[in-house]
Amino acid sequence: MSEILNLEYLKYPLENGLEVILYPKPGIPVVSLNLWYRVGSANETRGKTGFAHLFEHMMFQGSQNVPKEKHFHFIQEAGGTLNGSTSIDRTNYYESVPSNFLEMILWLESDRMGFLLDALTRDKLDNQKSVVMNERRERYDNQPYGRAFETLFSNLYPEDHPYHWPTIGWMEDIEKFNLDDVTSFFKKYYSPDNATLVLSGDFETENAKTLIDNYFGELSSNGGVQKITAKDFELNETKEIILEDDVQLERIYMAWHSCEAFHEDDAILDVLSDQLGGSKNARLYKSLVHEKQLALDVSVFQYSGKYDGSFLIIATAIPGVDTEVIKEEIKSELRKVMVDGITDEELTRSQNSIKSTFIYSIQNLDTISDHINYYNFYVGDPNYFAKDLARYNNTTRERVREVCEKYLSKPHVELKITPRGKNENK
């Protein structure tokens, strides 16, 4: 564990701006490649949302030297695994293979970084547009409670804020995707100087450097991406929203504006979320689910990004219970924390729980690689493991109380999702 919390790595740039981080770990005959492009839905603009997520699909549709869907085929035939993900701040592609296939995965990633547009066609775009539209229908529009988070965030953040729209994009924008816009988006963001490549596992450092330079060194960069600016804002009053949906049970969502990732209050808000809803012994879970039996479930979390954050409390009502009653119970518990704080025992329990979850999350090479990229992206330090844990270990009862009052006493967004037609006769 001490090795993981203080790993030895090499970080250096190629001449074209690609950032490379090497973490050699001999003895395990596996290599993990984790590539972050510094582009997420935050880089989009009103009327043109969903492009970052679209490219998570397009990057598997073939490039100049790799036929459509063969990226999956080559890696799976080698006994490896792979996938991609999109967030508000970045897009991530990763694969893990036996170490003798290192050169193959470097070739695959470099080919689509440098030569994806050579294989881009209208048919491929139209096909993936349909896939994304169906994904949106299944996961958002036709999924019970599926529109909750986009409703919350579009009301919590102003229209010109980069977190106002959902990562998947608005349906009307997805429908308008065209080849010129997609080509322009790729040229702007899928560039060596807008990416960080983390390679971990069983490799010889000098050989890996040579291979990376051979496959990525001659790719052209676009000269830099314009920095995002997110204006400070505050809600002047609490917004109350009722959304009817095809659901059986009412659910209430409460969202507060909080702080960005690795802000001095970010970890303390994580501790607060654990205190309120992180376990069956947590305050809200114990009160609402066990003692008063008002809610079927409760979840609480701090969601932080590069440019801002939000603190959310979600509770599903038991049949016959009004969510207004649940809301008042939530507010009552929050007031108790604001006035009296938490106990030493509660703080220790949260710290131990967070530490346990953290240690579990870095038990394999893939997640270590992703943590390296995560820390590098947000704080510029790939070896932030120990410092990250220290943020939680150094939290105090008084800081939890202060942070609770600082953020959760302010105006917020309240979203109530009710069964369709329930309010017609009221």
Per-residue pLDDT of 49-66, as tens digits, reads: 999 999 999 999 999 999
pLDDT reported for residue 124: 95
Q: What whole-number distance in Å separates Cα of residue 41 and Cα of residue 44? A: 5
Q: How far apart are the first and last CA of the chain?
A: 59
Q: What angle do CA 336, 299, 317 make, to 5 degrees?
A: 90
Structure tokens at 351: 């710290």
State whether CATH 3.20.20.70 applies to domain 8-216.
Answer: no
Fold of 239-419: Cytochrome Bc1 Complex; Chain A, domain 1 (3.30.830)
Per-residue pLDDT of 114-124, as tens digits, reads: 999 999 999 99
pLDDT reported for residue 28: 86
Q: What whole-number distance in Å separates Cα of residue 46 and Cα of residue 154? A: 12
pLDDT reported for residue 376: 98
Q: For the chain, give every residue range classified as CATH 3.30.830.10.
A: 8-216, 239-419
pLDDT reported for residue 307: 96
Q: What whole-number distance in Å separates Cα of residue 368 and Cα of residue 389? A: 15
| Nearest CA among 341, 60, 15, 56 for reference residue 192 | 15
Q: What whole-number distance in Å separates Cα of residue 418 and Cα of residue 252? A: 9
Q: What whole-number distance in Å separates Cα of residue 390 and Cα of residue 384? A: 10
Q: What is the pTM of this model?
A: 0.94
Neighbours of 73 (CB within 10 A): 12
pLDDT reported for residue 230: 87
Q: Which residues of the chain have pLDDT under 50?
A: 1-2, 426
pLDDT reported for residue 424: 59
